[in-house]
Structure 1
Amino acid sequence: MKTLRYELADGIATLTFDEQGSPVNTMCLQWQEDLGAAVQQVLQDKDAIRGIVLASAKSTFFAGADLKGTMRLQPADAQQVFREIEQVKKNFRTLETLGMPVVACLNGTALGGGWELALVAHHRVAVDDAKIQFGLPEITLGLIPGASGITKMTRLLGLLGAQPYILESKLFSPREALSLGLVQELVPDASALRAAALAWIDANPQSQQPWDAKDYRIPGGTPSNPKIAGMLSVAPAVLKQKTRGLYPAPEYALAAMVEGAQVDFDTALRIESRYLAKLIVSPVAKNMINTFFFDLNAIKAGASRPKWDGRFKPKKVGILGAGMMGGGIAYAQASRGIATVLKDVSQAKAEAGKAYSAKLTQGRVDKGRMSAQDQQALLARITPTESTQDLRDCELIVEAVFENRELKARVTMEAEPLLAAGGFFASNTSTLPITGLAKASARPEKFVGIHFFSPVDKMKLVEIIRGQATDDETIARAYDYVQALDKIPIVVNDSRGFFTSRVFGTFVMEGAAMLGEGIPAPVVEQAGLQAGMPVGPLAVLDETALSLSVHVLDQTRADVRAEGGTYIASPGELLVERMVKEFDRNGRAAGGGFYEYPAGGKKFLWPELKTLFEQPGTAWELQDLKDRLLYRQAVETARCLAEGVLTSVHDANVGSIFGIGFPGWTGGALQFIYGTGIAAFLHRAEVLAAKYGPGFVVAPQVKDAIRKFEPRW
């Protein structure tokens, strides 16, 4: 056996999981085969066995499914998947129905299939370590727990009690597991696990699972219980409101929970297997596994970080500008233990920037999520100042002032000389090319773009932009800095708008263009929501400020004109320009844009939009509108790839989802292309280009890039 060891000594059969050549244990095909062989050995040795111990030779207990194998599955493989998962469950059931005690020794994390394996045991002993995580995260990957997790968690916690752990993928620590009754015993370290397991086996020679007892009842009752039935009657509607019908996994999981609770245990397992088999071969599951597991882990492992032997651990970082962005960065740094100098033109403005952290932390203190002492310690790390000299010896200075090239140049020249030896300088610009901004730097090789997203305390993505002169060490240091903030770094090359702002602009401007074509504003917004975007394009434009979009447009025109060219604005840009310059509708912060914002009331679309732009009788198809919003972003992302602004698929996918809200069900802007199928995507883009213009044209070099970077599994 290549993935586990079977040992029998003193009446104890020990199954030690140890997949060769892998840092973790997975439910690969070899493991499935080995598990079957081990179970057969247990049956053969049954008379000599008085207890079974499940253990791991890895630093974690068990990682779960073989996701690379999952990515290779085709729709025709569903029946084979059903048979394989049923066989795994048959082996699980054999072990847990032998009548003898089975104990799981949880030395580390057990997620997904790993937790389902732990649930085979009648008794679970875990190391008391808050860093260890248990649970079923399958929903976040577009899957459902299909190796008995749904069936068992529902029977252990009840239909309502199990929902957060199944439908929301809520994870839990060993102590939380103990309080839930999911783990029965904690030990101080891994060396104490086996002794605790043997002691329990000695004390419990006869064992069975709760659901196998004759008097077993599901906690809280079955779906026929009036209280449960009342809640379940609205659950599908609530779920549909959240998923918008784009994410089948939560719906399948709820169905498996409810249907399984109305039948016997083994039938419930079969129901669960059928839902998993159907789901695991679906495009949405593959899209989400690709990005939320493989791409995200690639970034966490430093796949986009240049090779540099050092490791930057920021201790003191300066921030220029204490507005919403600067204040947010200050909070992000201070919350991770970094001493922060927050500089603005006046002490009052700097203090106001620090007050943002006070406001955020006070909310946590009020809810009992943070102690007053920890709050004060965090705030003490932020030094607000109006003196440039206080920036002396910062290892990094992040400029977060207004998007004006001259202003950025001035603060760069003032602050850069104060950097500590070996320090570097960053601009938090969202659109201005880094190479141009670096002209104000005495050391352009140590000048980098670090683009945070607003609000900084909530947005996980940070876009690192390499200027023409930026060296590898500076990019590596920036990468380390972003990870030190517990955020997700992507690395892109310099261009106007870089990657995220450039692609985001295509989304909002395509929405504005639709409005300009006479399509009703509510329809435009609904198309965005039904495509899976967090909010509609007009609402997003209001939040980011129409005036900012016009400022960027004016700056772009000036830059292109200075280069001897003429910038041709898109229909969407021209409409936004009219909103600002003709109608004085500058966005939410200015009192109103596409929406009205009544004090204390719910926002609503500006009624004048109907008079100004809507054209009665304008024909539109909702599918076309949804496709326009997604395809326009995907085409622009592919152009970034062809131009070298992007150099990897994982940066594109993760950046598009976590930075601009591209729908998670697609797996990201490039995975949307690959998940659709390159040929099918290019054909649809061609149809859209013929109807809606050059924004959808996929040039030959862009097609080549799409094919060149296609993932191979």
Structure 2
Amino acid sequence: MTDTAIRTELDADGILLLTIDVPGQSMNVITPQVSADLTAAIARIKAEPEIKGAVLTSGKPSGFMAGADLKGMGALMGGGAKLPEGKSKMAALFDAVYALNKMLRDLETCGKPVAAAINGLALGGGLEFTLACHYRVCVDNPKVTLGLPEVMVGLFPGAGGTQRLPRLMGVQPALMYLLQGKNMSPQEALGFGVVHELAAADQVVEKAKAWVKANPTKGVQPWDEKSFKFPGGVGMFNPGFAQTFMAGTAMTAKQTNHNMNAPVAILSSVYEGSQLPMDTALRVESKYMAKLIADPQAGNMIRSLFVSKQAAEKGARRPQGVAPAPAQKIGMLGAGLMGAGVAMVSAQAGMTVVLLDRDLAAAEKGKQYTADRLAKKRTDPAKAQAILDRIHPTADYADLAGCDLIIEAVFETRDIKAGVTKATEAVVGADTIFGSNTSTLPITGLAEAWSKPENFIGIHFFSPVEKMPLVEIIVGKQTGPTAIAKALDYVAAIRKTPIVVNDSRGFYTSRCFGTYVQEGLALLSEGTNPALIENVGRHMGMPVGPLAVNDEVGLDLSYKVGQQTKADLGDKYVEQPGAKVIETMHELGRQGRKNAKGFYVYPDAPAKKYLWPELVGTVSDGLAETQPTPEAVRERLLYRQMVECARCFEEGVLETPQDGDLGAIFGWGFAPFTGGPFSHMDTIGLANVVAILDGLAQRHGDRFAPPQLLRDMAAKGETFYGRAALKQAA
């Protein structure tokens, strides 16, 4: 085994083949060894006269390269990297990010022709490597993706991507790909001039070599020619260029609500760099990249959206020592919207699904859900039929025999759930793992209906199941490791991201997400303009406002959950501000989107929904004479969620901040640019969080009071992630 990341081979024609094959990685990524090997290869190309040119390709069947090793960027982004003597932090950061830019600039100015043989996926830095080559041959396969998706994790293409892509395809189309992180197919890349030639997989390297051999003097990039002009033109006096940035700035502001740093950096880097020589432009790009890395936002996003997500999907929370337990045949109890969605994703993953409901017609309707969505997606008819053939609708519990996993998604009522649980055990036996999809009812209580509570677990999906990426695994007081492993293996099979939490009412996601909705209702009951509540909710980074999301979930469901909670807690029940709003809406029969009347009115298409004009006068005494500022509304909506997340951590509902951040972002859409509530609290500083919560509690009540653990951590100068790292090290 060698540590070399790039193999070199000089052929009889003097062409040096550089094959990237990073040891120990299923996919090539940019590591220090890759950079060292490529730097050495560039020096050889320049110095050795027998080398006439070079071809850069991959030795991995998985593709060309996936970009930077984000896991390896932790020290750089977290400020843990050692600073050179006499260097400021920003100067050191600039040098670190500019090193890759300089290396690729050395490649394209080496004086000899270099071609890229792109034999598979090329994303981020992987694509940037190829853009620094003088000619690009790509495999002719529509499933291969090329792109610069860095903006999705708070970064931007910092290895020349913001400079070379606009010079190849023009500023306007390049910005569409850079700002949205969109991928392109090889055919699209050919049309845009991003690649020069398509070839069969077994011909890509030979075609690249043939070009190098036929073009010994073509080792110059177009932008280094005196006659070079940008496609579409550039310059502050070019009308098209000016309009592109006027529109692009406005659209970016609309899409991001000024919350994300990376899109602004992309716009700035492209605008400035496109009017400068390439060498200066690359230094400008590195300047903006360094600024992005210096801000905690990118580090928080990378940790949650990439590192923690990948770890969760690879089984970070799976109990050790439990043999793999893939589900083969599942029983789905309830064929409503949630149950039908679970049946669909399970059948798509190759499992047999027994879809049970109160009568056969209801079960058949649940199967039709899959048929309709596959047809809408224009799935190949043969593939669609194979999926549908795995779903078996029934109203007979006897058909559950042989299922190795049961998932229940019936009405959110304890008695109904207990009934179907007992009826199921009578057929499959208590050794079968039983998962409840309840969103609020404690698992420990529901497990009383199953004679082996160690085999009972919560498997909480989000609607619509086929689109939402998260599954929340809830561990009851007696849930055993076999059940946890079975649930996690099932979630891995359906390609969702799991988090594991301990039992409580509402668990983690429903409990904390509910506070966002509840605080919106509290503001509404105080006479706050509903449009202000909704707009602030969206502008702070949530997918929709709290009133709109309540309409989507269903006001009738909110009412039922509230009534069940009141019945379960008895004298311990504490009514939340805004609870009367839901009761009033229930009395008026306003259920939300499902019956086209809730906080919003839903007219027939193509008309758009609008806030119910009589809302304020119905649920409050009218608009308050003095309206809160947007900043005050934002603070209440944000900190009400964060304090509940901190309580979940204190109570042991959450065991890791990683689960908390993943659950918040992927479960209820907590502002992704923050990295999640725990990352956000660490960034703000826990002492500052406590001070703000104390002020909110004084003005608005104990629901904002910080838990003692948060006070103790603030006093010690601790962070959630620092605490987790110490626990892991121990």
Q: TM-score, normalised by structure 1?
A: 0.90
Q: Determine the structure 1 residue equivalent to 2:177.
A: 165
The Cα of 1:658 is off from its aligned counterpart by 0.8
Q: What does the per-residue CA deviation read over 1:581-628, in whole Å, with 9 as the maximum and x for residues that have no partner?
A: 4x4433332442222223333222222233234343235232121121
Q: Determine the structure 2 residue equivalent to 1:414.
A: 423
Q: Determine the structure 2 residue equivalent to 1:575.
A: 581
Q: Determine the structure 2 residue equivalent to 1:235.
A: 248
2:643 aligns with one of 614, 623, 635: 635
For residues 558 and 616 of structure 1, the distance between their equivalents in structure 2, rounded to whole angstroms, comes to 33
Q: Determine the structure 2 residue equivalent to 1:246.
A: 259
For residues 676 and 280 of structure 1, the distance between their equivalents in structure 2, rounded to whole angstroms, comes to 17
Answer with 433-442 or 416-425: which moved more: 416-425
For residues 9 and 437 of structure 2, the distance between their equivalents in structure 1, rounded to whole angstroms, comes to 61
Q: Determine the structure 2 residue equivalent to 1:281.
A: 294
**Match of 2:573, SS?**
coil
The Cα of 1:314 is off from its aligned counterpart by 2.7
Q: Determine the structure 2 residue equivalent to 1:94.
A: 106
The Cα of 1:462 is off from its aligned counterpart by 0.9
- The 5 A counterparts of 1:677-688 are 677-688=685-696
For residues 629 and 326 of structure 2, the distance between their equivalents in structure 1, rounded to whole angstroms, comes to 53
Q: Determine the structure 1 residue equivalent to 2:590.
A: 585
> Quick one: structure 1 residues 390 and 102, their matched pair in 2 at CA, closer, same or farther if it must change by over 3 Å?
same
The Cα of 1:82 is off from its aligned counterpart by 2.5
**Match of 2:183, SS?**
coil
1:475 aligns with one of 461, 470, 484: 484
Letter in 2 for 1:558: A
The Cα of 1:270 is off from its aligned counterpart by 3.0
> Quick one: structure 1 residues 130 and 463, their matched pair in 2 at CA, closer, same or farther if it must change by over 3 Å?
farther
1:321 aligns with one of 334, 344, 356: 334
For residues 13 and 158 of structure 1, the distance between their equivalents in structure 2, rounded to whole angstroms, comes to 32
Letter in 2 for 1:303: A
2:362 aligned with 1:349: yes
> Quick one: structure 1 residues 6 and 560, their matched pair in 2 at CA, closer, same or farther if it must change by over 3 Å?
closer
2:124 aligned with 1:112: yes
2:512 aligned with 1:500: no
Answer with 330-339 or 73-82: which moved more: 73-82
For residues 453 and 6 of structure 1, the distance between their equivalents in structure 2, rounded to whole angstroms, comes to 47
> Quick one: structure 1 residues 3 and 696, their matched pair in 2 at CA, closer, same or farther if it must change by over 3 Å?
farther
* Contact 2:56-2:115 at 8 Å conserved across structures: yes
- The 5 A counterparts of 1:253-264 are 253-264=266-277
* Contact 2:112-2:216 at 8 Å conserved across structures: yes
* Contact 1:397-1:416 at 8 Å conserved across structures: no
* Contact 1:431-1:497 at 8 Å conserved across structures: yes
1:79 aligns with one of 77, 85, 91: 91
2:540 aligned with 1:531: yes
**Match of 2:180, SS?**
coil
Q: Determine the structure 1 residue equivalent to 2:602.
A: 597
For residues 540 and 239 of structure 1, the distance between their equivalents in structure 2, rounded to whole angstroms, comes to 24
> Percent identity at matched positions?
44
* Contact 1:298-1:650 at 8 Å conserved across structures: no
**Match of 1:571, SS?**
coil
1:64 aligns with one of 63, 67, 70: 67
Gaps of 5+ in 2: none
**Match of 2:388, SS?**
helix
**Match of 2:500, SS?**
strand
* Contact 2:559-2:582 at 8 Å conserved across structures: yes
For residues 408 and 507 of structure 1, the distance between their equivalents in structure 2, rounded to whole angstroms, comes to 27
- The 5 A counterparts of 1:432-447 are 432-447=441-456
Answer with 480-489 or 695-704: which moved more: 695-704
Answer with 135-144 or 272-281: which moved more: 272-281
Letter in 2 for 1:277: A
For residues 230 and 429 of structure 2, the distance between their equivalents in structure 1, rounded to whole angstroms, comes to 63
> Quick one: structure 1 residues 340 and 524, their matched pair in 2 at CA, closer, same or farther if it must change by over 3 Å?
same
Q: Determine the structure 2 residue equivalent to 1:295.
A: 308
* Contact 1:462-1:488 at 8 Å conserved across structures: yes
**Match of 2:369, SS?**
helix
Q: Determine the structure 1 residue equivalent to 2:213.
A: 202
> Quick one: structure 1 residues 566 and 117, their matched pair in 2 at CA, closer, same or farther if it must change by over 3 Å?
same
> Quick one: structure 1 residues 458 and 94, their matched pair in 2 at CA, closer, same or farther if it must change by over 3 Å?
same
* Contact 1:122-1:209 at 8 Å conserved across structures: yes
Q: Determine the structure 2 residue equivalent to 1:487.
A: 496
Q: Determine the structure 1 residue equivalent to 2:666.
A: 658
Answer with 244-253 or 116-125: which moved more: 116-125
Answer with 529-538 or 336-345: which moved more: 336-345
Letter in 1 for 2:647: R
Letter in 1 for 2:601: E
> Quick one: structure 1 residues 672 and 473, their matched pair in 2 at CA, closer, same or farther if it must change by over 3 Å?
same
Letter in 1 for 2:592: G
* Contact 1:520-1:614 at 8 Å conserved across structures: no
For residues 72 and 101 of structure 1, the distance between their equivalents in structure 2, rounded to whole angstroms, comes to 39
The Cα of 1:447 is off from its aligned counterpart by 1.4
Letter in 1 for 2:581: L
* Contact 1:394-1:418 at 8 Å conserved across structures: no
For residues 452 and 196 of structure 2, the distance between their equivalents in structure 1, rounded to whole angstroms, comes to 60
- The 5 A counterparts of 1:184-203 are 184=196, 195=206, 197-203=208-214
The Cα of 1:88 is off from its aligned counterpart by 2.9
Answer with 307-316 or 321-330: which moved more: 307-316
**Match of 2:412, SS?**
coil
Q: How many residues align?
A: 703
* Contact 1:336-1:485 at 8 Å conserved across structures: yes
* Contact 1:71-1:290 at 8 Å conserved across structures: no
**Match of 1:637, SS?**
helix
For residues 374 and 6 of structure 2, the distance between their equivalents in structure 1, rounded to whole angstroms, comes to 50
**Match of 1:299, SS?**
helix
- The 5 A counterparts of 1:371-390 are 371-390=380-399
- The 5 A counterparts of 1:121-140 are 121-125=133-137, 133-140=145-152
For residues 98 and 326 of structure 2, the distance between their equivalents in structure 1, rounded to whole angstroms, comes to 49
For residues 231 and 157 of structure 1, the distance between their equivalents in structure 2, rounded to whole angstroms, comes to 14
* Contact 1:4-1:15 at 8 Å conserved across structures: no
* Contact 1:308-1:472 at 8 Å conserved across structures: no
**Match of 1:640, SS?**
helix
The Cα of 1:467 is off from its aligned counterpart by 1.4
Q: Determine the structure 2 residue equivalent to 1:424.
A: 433
Letter in 1 for 2:609: K
Two-structure CA RMSD over aligned residues (Å): 3.0
> Quick one: structure 1 residues 545 and 502, their matched pair in 2 at CA, closer, same or farther if it must change by over 3 Å?
same
Answer with 503-512 or 114-123: which moved more: 114-123
Letter in 1 for 2:231: P
* Contact 2:454-2:483 at 8 Å conserved across structures: yes
